[in-house]
Amino acid sequence: MRIAVIGGGPGGLYFSALVMQLDPSHEVTVWERNAADDTFGFGVVFSDETLGGIEHADPLVHEWMEREFARWDDIDVTFRGQTITSGGHGFAAMSRRRLLELLQERCRDLGVTLHFLSEAPDVAELARTHDLVVAADGLNSTVRARYADTFGPSIDVRRCKYMWLGTSKVFDAFKFDIRETPYGVMQVHGYPYDAHGSTFIVEMNEEVWRAAGFDAFATQEFAPGQSDEKSIAKVTELFADVLDGHEVMANNSRWISFSTVRNETWRHDNVVLLGDAAHTAHFSIGSGTKLAMEDALSLAACLHEGHDLTGALEAYETERKAVVLSTQRAAQASLEWFENLGQYVHQDPWQFAFNIMTRSRRVTYENLKLRDPEFVARVDRWFGEHTGDTREDGADVPPMFRPFTLGGLELVNRVVVSPMDMYCAVDGYANDFHLVHLGGKALGGAGLVMTEMVCVSAQGRISPGCTGIWSDDRAEAWRRVTDFVHAESAAKIGIQLGHSGRKGSTKLMWEGIDLPLDEGNWEVVAPSALPYREGVNQVPRELDAADLARIKQEFVDAARRADDAGFDLLELHCAHGYLLSSFISPVTNRRTDGYGGDLAARLRYPLEVFTAMREVWPAHKPMTVRISATDWVDDGITGGDAVLIAEAFKAVGCAAIDVSTGQVTPDERPAFGRSYQTPYADRIRNTVDIATIAVGVISSYDDVNSLLLAGRADLCALGRVHLYDPSWTLHAAAEQEYTGPGVRWPLPWQAGQRRPQTGRTDGPKPRLELIRHGPAGTRHARWRPSESMDR
């Protein structure tokens, strides 16, 4: 094959070397517009997985790199004058310049033609004269721009400013230095890359950047390659103690806003994207160089495995895209964490250190226990002291089994069975199914069990199978459930009250979710006459003043009956596009009276309903509110709006916000993934100072422990996992070998509180491959260049 490679960075060079190594009959030419010794940035970091792939694909390149590596295990977090260290992480880094030199040498040895200080010929001409064109031309890819209609790129420019610098100070570990300055919070990401220098990245929110005056420096015109010396001087002054008198090194160093690049496809005929041209991921979770070299390895392998060109490029994109999307999700969580860093500065340094370690959701509580059990034990002890848990001492208490007081309600642990509609009622009455369903979850160990949305009127049902509490006899049917939960478990039980609004009069979920009934329809109502689906669902009748008063009274009556029925907690459903949610969202509320308009006006009716219910609901019992913290559409509710919504409900006596998202409009485009809604609960908890309940694809006890210990939520609500395993909480305790008061096995079940024995497994236990040949316990290796050179 004749192969043209546009871009002589690590990804393009490594690909060229690999394909020539696999088949020397290829003709590979690389064009790079910069000089051979030009590089932007200082050090690059590699994961164990990447190094394993390199070692297998080209042992010689791996051997050369191995000689250059700075290796260490520790991460130091400096915050509020205290440095906390977590070990066992395993890093390998090297100079970017040296990496380029090695890859250039390998390419020359294998017969790759390299052109430096040379613009590549027109990509269309290259595509005509070559079998394959690899566009490894970086973040600002001209090839991607040329074929944008095919590639479908999106570029998300983020809210932080950062500058890539180097320093002659050789750090001995990865450094996070978080600094509260007169302008706001700034942070340093630093790590060594050889015996002579370290990467030194300064980052801050754009508001802080402007407050510090850096925007004034950035307005000047910079010549190619010129650095922002005024900003560098100020950074040197602000972080003088970190630099300790050492030189700051610049290399085309200016303020940058990170851009996340995504493409719908990476292929256009015989042109393919690689590395930053195809995708970017925030530097706080890894290296773009690492991803580019993984791309190169995959593309070379797919080309060599006997596919035709089209099949090879399809296989490459399929193989890499899933990995990259996963990396980008983690990187998005990490970059958003740093964008919102200011909301965590109130945290204790130990909790803050755990929070920063787990920010991407890839490193978790259990993962950190494997890497550094002493660190996690210390944070666990802090959490127990902070929560005032006097039931048991020591660090062997998983956070999920610490108690929590919600209003005046004592919960034995922090696991909540999330409200889940069952569609099994007849004429609104709870029945044996609900007794077994909710009673079983209470026996299963959760601290709080929530009903499905219980409707305040027949008109307010979603479907004919929804439960209700619009009469005393329907309330009495619930009494069977609450009595059982209180008598047979340590759980508390809460009721969620709501009205379906425009999403009512629909089929049972398994018959067709959100589809209208074929017969037996009832009138649906809403703030505005807007159907859920145009041409599919009913056009709702717009509520008038009399309707609003009547429905508010229905909520009040339902609250009284819920207390009579023995419920411990009441949650008002203001999420998911049901009636009260429809008032809050601008997508569904187009009213021109006092209940429509800006957010304050749209909140008016839900707040009136809440206030009226709070007056009749006993003072010692808490009330919570479930909200949709974003509508996942343009011009809908945003995370910023959710903060204001939470503040408004807090002001009228809400004890906690149950933070969900979406389901307001069928046009939504949620960023679905593991724990994808928790950043909204995190933001509300740490800015509004109100308890939050996190919900949304929280699927493991590891996730629960991680969220709670990092201070991102106070309680975690889990739905599907409790459908899969009604005794999920008990089994989570058994898996973690926890037997304390945070979970109570029913007496008849106590013989089963240990995990059943399974077949013998002789396979190797997981370990971090970068931590080699060390003694048992946490590795705290630091980078000591003199020791490495001596070896």
State how far the alpha carbon of 439 is from the alpha carbons of 95, 99, 262, 492, in Å: 60, 61, 47, 11
Task: Tell me the C-alpha distance between 580 and 572, whole Å.
Answer: 9
Q: Pick from 399, 495, 482: which is nearest to 442 by CA?
A: 482
Yes or no: say if 271 and 27 are a contact pair by the CB < 8 Å rule: no
Average pLDDT over residues 477-495: 98
> DSSP alpha helices (H): ranges in 513-667?
545-564, 579-584, 599-602, 604-616, 639-651
For the stretch 602-614, pLDDT in tens is 999 999 999 999 9
**pTM for this prediction:** 0.93
Which structure tokens are listed for 22?
């696999």
For the stretch 689-698, pLDDT in tens is 999 999 999 9
Average pLDDT over residues 132-153: 97
Average pLDDT over residues 615-643: 97
Structure confidence at residue 754 (pLDDT): 84
Residues annotated catalytic, as ranges: 578
* pLDDT top residue among 64 and 395: 64
Yes or no: say if 283 and 334 are a contact pair by the CB < 8 Å rule: no
Structure confidence at residue 760 (pLDDT): 59
- Beta strand residue intervals within 456-568, DSSP E: 492-498, 525-526, 541-542
Q: H or E segment at 76?
A: strand 75-79
The overall average pLDDT reported for the chain is: 94
User: Of 59-63, 303-307, 566-570, 629-633, where does mean pLDDT reach its minimum?
Assistant: 303-307
Yes or no: say if 604 and 652 are a contact pair by the CB < 8 Å rule: no
Structure confidence at residue 771 (pLDDT): 41
Structure confidence at residue 485 (pLDDT): 98
Q: Pick from 102, 72, 292: which is nearest to 193 by CA?
A: 72
Give residues with Cβ within 8 angstroms of 513, minimum separation 6: 506, 507
Strand, helix or coil for residue 326: helix
Q: Pick from 44, 58, 10: which is nearest to 30 by CA?
A: 10
Structure confidence at residue 394 (pLDDT): 63
* pLDDT top residue among 218 and 499: 499
Task: Tell me the C-alpha distance between 383 and 358, whole Å.
Answer: 16
Structure confidence at residue 769 (pLDDT): 44
- Exposure string of 388-427, with b = 16+ CB inside 10 Å and e = fewer, is ebeeeeeeebbbbbbbbebbebebbbbbbbbbbbbbbbee
pLDDT of 483 strictly over 80: yes
pLDDT of 767 strictly over 60: no
Percent of the chain with pLDDT over 90: 88
For the stretch 420-439, pLDDT in tens is 999 999 999 999 999 999 99
State how far the alpha carbon of 667 is from the alpha carbons of 110, 228, 518, 659, in Å: 53, 44, 24, 20
Q: Pick from 26, 466, 8, 479: which is nearest to 274 by CA?
A: 8
Average pLDDT over residues 662-685: 93
Which structure tokens are listed for 444?
């299963």
pLDDT of 765 strictly over 70: no
Average pLDDT over residues 313-326: 95
pLDDT of 788 strictly over 80: no
Task: Tell me the C-alpha distance between 531 and 535, whole Å.
Answer: 8
Q: At what angle do helices 701-709 and 728-735 cross, to 10 degrees?
A: 80
For the stretch 21-31, pLDDT in tens is 999 999 999 99
DSSP at 748: G
Please list the residues that pair with 409 across neighbouring strands.
406
Which structure tokens are listed for 745?
């096995």
pLDDT band at 762 (very low <50, low <70, confident <90, very high): low
